[in-house]
Amino acid sequence: MAGQLPTTEFDDIPDALLDELESLAHDRGEGQLGMVQLLDEDGHFNSGSHFSEHAKRLTSDELRGLYRDMATIRRFDAEATALQRQGQLALWVPVRGQEAAQIGSGRATRPEDYLFPTYREHGVALTRGVELGELLRLFRGVSNGGWDPRETNFHLYTLVLAAQVPHAVGYAMGIQRDAARAAAAGRDSGAQAVPSPAVVAYFGDGASSEGDIHESMVFAASFKSPVVFFCQNNQWAISVPTEVQSRIPLHHRAKGYGFPGLRVDGNDVLAVHAVTEWALARARSGKGPVLIEAYTYRQGAHTTADDPTKYRLSEEEQAWLVKDPIARFEKYLRAEGYADDAFFADVAAEGDALAAKSRKDVLAFEAPSLAEAMSHVYAERHPLVEEEIAWHLGYESGFADDESAKEGGH
């Protein structure tokens, strides 16, 4: 089995794991998908996978934390959806259904890692410590960003599909150069090597078709850059199903580029956490990229402007509700005695408090000043921008006298 993969590239991967990945690479009969799964739909733990050991290392606090994160982001998501319905947000991009894919992967990262989201990664934002209310600035129309990526190593949302993925590769190339420079300096000073960070690039099944994804994978493979490509296959790109983007499971593409790819049950937070941790560790150790396809489902609309009844059946939606990531994990936590009613009540109360706070934050956002936005167009002085700011301020204050007006209007 293992011989089918270009093992010269993957010789760091133990045979047993390589065999497991290969056996999971192809779907089995009866609609059984080949994918890494540690918790089945009823919350039963599968201890037979290579990745089971990763999951077993999680403490009970960490396990409860994963649940808390998922429940919190779902509550926040509901509040943001409501805010949009009430006209307080221009748009909202719901994350419901993808909580395990996002919390599991985000929690597998370290503070020094850098993450490039698309626009739906609210759960990942939570794991990075981004103040959730800040996510709403973009959707309220008061900012095109909203948070300082330098504080959390969680990049700004990128709305042009796939455009952030080459950035992730370049960032990873920078990490490689940092490591080389630090090693060179360390030889001189005898200093300890700093832990090597890695990068995660998030994108969707739809975005996977963009040329930028191809170029990113070529670069990352060519330079063996420490980047994990994390594709949330939520089955839909607005109204277009994944089959239109790919005739083969998306993770198979990795092989063609020369790095490992795997599919994980994206509604299984333990499995997602385990495979992401593994891929990041591999990237950190200099073995290059991994493509993770997190197989999940967008339970709601594409955005609040979308109407999924136009293109998908409610039977499909119902079938996926059975696989809900949060319900599944709750069953597991209860069955294993990790959490009780009091814990779940606590989490719900915290979620409500966060929702209330976010709502308050949104209503308090100040409309930005156009002049200030103009002043951020360039890092250095720019005469045209200065002229236009002056004209704009004069115009808005109604003092645009004939003299300044003659210098150019807009």
Partner 1 sequence: MPTMTLAKAINTGLRDALAADETVMLMGEDIGSLGGVYRVTEGLKAEFGGDRVIDSPLAESGIVGASIGLALRGYRPVDEIQFDGFVFPAFNQITTQLAKIHARSAGRLTVPVTIRIPYGGGIGSVEHHSESPEALFAHTAGVRIITPSNPHDGYWMTRRAIECEDPVIVFEPKRRYWLKGEVNTEEPGASADPFRAHVVREGTDATIVAYGPLVPVALAAAAAAAEDGRSVEVVDLRSLSPIDFDTVTASAEKTGRLVVAHEAPTFGGLGGEIAARVSERAFLSLEAPVIRVGGFHMPYPVAKVEGQYLPDIDRILEALDRAFAY
Residues in the site for partner 1, rule: CB under 8 A?
90-91, 138-144, 159-161, 206-212, 237-240, 244-245, 305, 310-311, 367-370, 373-374, 377, 382, 384-385, 388, 392, 395-396, 400, 402, 405-406, 409-410
Nearest approach, Cβ of residue 234 and Mg ion (Å): 4
242: closest CA among 203, 206, 294?
206
Shorter beta-carbon distance to ligand TPP: residue 55 or 126: 126
Annotated active-site residue 302? The verdict is yes
Which helix (H) or strand (E) covers residue 265, if one does?
strand 261-265
Q: In what order do the strands lie in the sheet with 290-295?
A: 114-116, 199-204, 227-233, 290-295, 261-265
Rounded (10°) angle between helices 341-364 and 60-85: 40
106 — phi, psi (to 5°)? -60, -40
Stretch that binds ligand TPP, among 203-211, 328-336, 360-368, 380-388 (CB under 6 A): 203-211
- With b meaning 16 or more CB within 10 Å and e meaning fewer, what string describes 351-377? beebbeebbebbeebeeeeeeeebeee
For residue 231, the minimal CB distance to ligand TPP (Å) is 9
Q: Which does 396 bind (CB under 5 to 8 A by kind): Mg ion, ligand TPP, partner 1, none?
A: partner 1
Nearest to 161 by CA among 123, 108, 219, 120: 120
Choosing among partner 1, ligand TPP, Mg ion, none, which partner's interface includes residue 319 (Cβ < 5 to 8 Å by kind)? none
CA gap 244, 140 in Å, rounded: 33
250 binds ligand TPP (CB under 6 A): no
Pairing of β 261-265 and β 114-116: unpaired
Q: How far is the CB of 208 from ligand TPP (least distance, A)?
A: 7
Interface characters, 138-167, with ligand TPP (x: CB under 6 A): ---------------------xxx------
Applying CB under 6 A, among 237, 270, 275, 354 the residue interacting with ligand TPP is 237
308 lies in the site for Mg ion, by CB under 5 A: no
Choosing among ligand TPP, partner 1, Mg ion, none, which partner's interface includes residue 120 (Cβ < 5 to 8 Å by kind)?
ligand TPP
- Minimum distance from residue 124 beta carbon to ligand TPP (Å): 12
Residues 6+ apart with CB under 8 A from 356: none
Stretch that binds Mg ion, among 156-164, 226-234, 246-254, 342-350 (CB under 5 A): 226-234
Q: How many whole angstroms separate alpha carbon 334 and alpha carbon 342?
A: 11
263 counts as catalytic? no
Q: Which does 30 bind (CB under 5 to 8 A by kind): partner 1, Mg ion, ligand TPP, none?
A: none
Residue 84 engages Mg ion in binding (rule: CB under 5 A): no
Cα 350 versus chain centre, distance: 23
Tally Cβ neighbours within 10 Å of residue 131. 16
Residue 71 and residue 348 in contact, taking contact as beta carbons nearer than 8 Å:
yes
- 288 forms part of the interface with ligand TPP (CB under 6 A): no
Burial class (CB in 10 A: 0-12, 13-18, 19+), 383: exposed
**Which member of 26, 57, 110, 311 is catalytic?**
311
Q: Which of 68, 302, 328, 359 is catalytic?
A: 302
Has 74 been annotated as catalytic?
A: no
Structure tokens at 325: 């990531």
Cβ-based nearer residue to ligand TPP, 67 or 202: 202
Q: Is there binding between residue 120 and ligand TPP (CB under 6 A)?
A: yes
The secondary structure element, H or E, covering residue 336 is none
**What would the two tokens of residue 326 be?**
């949060």
Q: Which does 400 bind (CB under 5 to 8 A by kind): partner 1, Mg ion, ligand TPP, none?
A: partner 1
**Which two structure tokens, joined as six digits, stand for 182?**
């630090």
Of 177 and 247, which has the nearer Cβ to ligand TPP?
247
Least distance in angstroms from the C-beta of 260 to ligand TPP: 22
Instruction: Report the interface residues with ligand TPP, using CB under 6 A.
Output: 120, 159-161, 204-207, 234, 236-238, 298, 302
The catalytic residues are: 298, 302, 311
Instruction: Report the interface residues with Mg ion, using CB under 5 A.
Output: 204-206, 234, 237
